[in-house]
Amino acid sequence: MKQVYLIFFVLFFLCNFTQMSCQTSPDKGDFADETQSTSKKGTPSQDDIQRFIANGWVRYSDFGAKGDGKTDDMAAIVATHAFANQHNLTVKGDDKATYYIGAKKLTADVRTNTDFGTAAFIIDDTQVEDRNAHIFSINSGKQSFKPANVTSLKRNQQKLDISLSGPCLVTVTDSNVKRYIRYGANQNNGSAQTDVFVVDKNGVVDANTPIIWDFDQVTDIVVLPIDETQLTITGGKFTTIANRESSKYSYYARGIAIRRSNVVVDRLEHRITGEGENGAPYGGFISITNCAHITVKNTILTGHKVYQTIGSAGVPVSMGTYDININRALNITFENCSQTNDINNSAYWGIMGSNYCKNLVYDGCTFSRFDAHMGVANATIRNSTLGHQGINAIGSGTFIVENSTIRGTSLINLRSDYGSTWEGEFIIRNCTFVPRSVKSGSVNLIGGSNAGQHDFGYTCYMPEKITIENLQIKDSGYPENYNGPAIFANFNKQMVDETYVEKYPYIITKEVVLKNVTAESGKPLRVSDNGYMFRNVTVSR
């Protein structure tokens, strides 16, 4: 029997040697007692271990989880995944169980298929030891590395001088160059130039994830092999008891981190309770970073309550807070997903935010927002309905919006805090636009602003070509002074003649193609309130 206890003790602490290590509480005495009790009651026998391996799966209750909604089961959850990783077993939740996850700084390292089933999880964020400790982290068993011979890169370079064992995700940085120098209430000094792309075993860059910057000096490069087998996360009903901290930019990350490529999340639910008068924001219950080929489908999420704080410019701002967060990730699809609260209720922040991504897709989703902060290369929204925050983006490539209903101040808003830039093309077809701003008498399809006086770290562009086909604009209920919808907002109210000088010129759209664009008001679609700024745009009807 001593040998059995020793085996379990080693397995329980395997997570200390994995990518996402388990860390003990600062109160080591109390934590040691709890762990010892859980281990004794949840220690499997040698026969149990052989049965788990023969079955191909293991449950949380096999390692001591109570599932009563009161006992903190996190240590047992961590131990279950550590054992499953060691023996390549599926992990299953116990039917009708409710697992309470308390304050301890523990993260379950998930490297095998997991079926939460109908089990419920209560994540209590009211008093946590570490707000940055995810509950689950889906990790790869493959090791990243830094090649020594890649010292520079060119935009649209097709091949790296490197040989690999298989397809890899490559992340590169040039810390000497600053991009995305933010303007406005949350102004900053920018971020190091970053790009992420996929290469095959011969170093050939995937044409769907092109290199978008010149890297005169690669100051950092990380290559992570892509898992070719698919890992699935299924089911589970999660409820977060919201934190009650001061309303400032101290983000909470107590959710599911996806750090491995080729993952499918299916039929998961996340709800939020306990939001009060104040609270710190959330970085995303589903947090997707440094990976490729991720699909989240048939999943229900929840928008977070908006709280106010003082931004970096010294003025009040609403803090972004998310249930979906995507960073340095490629080929990410949300399919048939929705949220629990009203997508048009402005008391709740837009559900998604992203940075440094390529090929983001909403398909059949009902969400309050799509958002690309620090750039997306190629995006698609189809068969979807977006709420009060609509579509917000900057980036490059092709943005397709089709068979969808879009609410918001504009049909697509080019984020002004990052220069309202899109270097590429917009294609909008078979859509309905329901503007929030109709009562003000200002309805614009493409929104944004750029005065040409701020250095964002790059040349700012409007889409070179915009194609709009079969669009219905729901602009009834307009005021008497309403002049009808416009293609472009007034991006620069000061640019009214040739005397205005842009320090950093903003490159204007060349061509707009319109086919069957109608407005409920019966008023014709105009180019813009700023006729001078858009005087050279060719509009084909």
Coil, strand or helix: which one is 17? Answer: helix
Query: How much is the pLDDT for 15?
Result: 38
pTM of this structure = 0.91
* Domain regions of the chain by residue span: 2-124, 142-226, 259-540
Backbone torsions φ then ψ of 40, nearest 5 degrees: -65, -45
From the list 302, 337, 326, 351, the residue with the least C-alpha distance to 123 is 302
Residues 301, 233: Cα–Cα separation, whole Å = 15
- In the predicted structure, residue 116 carries a pLDDT above the cut 70: yes
List of residues 6+ apart from 70 with CB closer than 8 A? 100
Query: How much is the pLDDT for 139?
Result: 98
Backbone torsions φ then ψ of 11, nearest 5 degrees: -65, -40
Backbone torsions φ then ψ of 47, nearest 5 degrees: -65, -40
**Could you give the percent of the chain with pLDDT greater than 70?**
92
pLDDT digits (tens, 9 = 90+) for 242-299: 999 999 999 999 999 999 999 999 999 999 999 999 999 999 999 999 999 999 999 9
From the list 258, 294, 57, the residue with the least C-alpha distance to 140 is 258
Average pLDDT score over the chain: 92
407 in Cβ contact with 447 (< 8 Å): no
Q: Can you tell me the mean pLDDT for 367-379?
A: 97
Query: How much is the pLDDT for 27?
Result: 32
The residues facing 224 across adjacent strands are 169
Here the tokens at position 316 are 């009040």
Pairing between β-strand 168-179 and β-strand 191-199 as defined by DSSP bridges: antiparallel
Give long-range contacts, CB 8 A cutoff, 24+ apart: 498-506: 502/451, 502/452, 502/453, 503/452, 503/453, 504/452, 504/453, 504/454, 504/455, 504/456, 504/459, 504/460, 505/452, 505/459, 506/419, 506/420, 506/450, 506/452, 506/460, 506/461, 506/462
Residues 462, 454: Cα–Cα separation, whole Å = 16
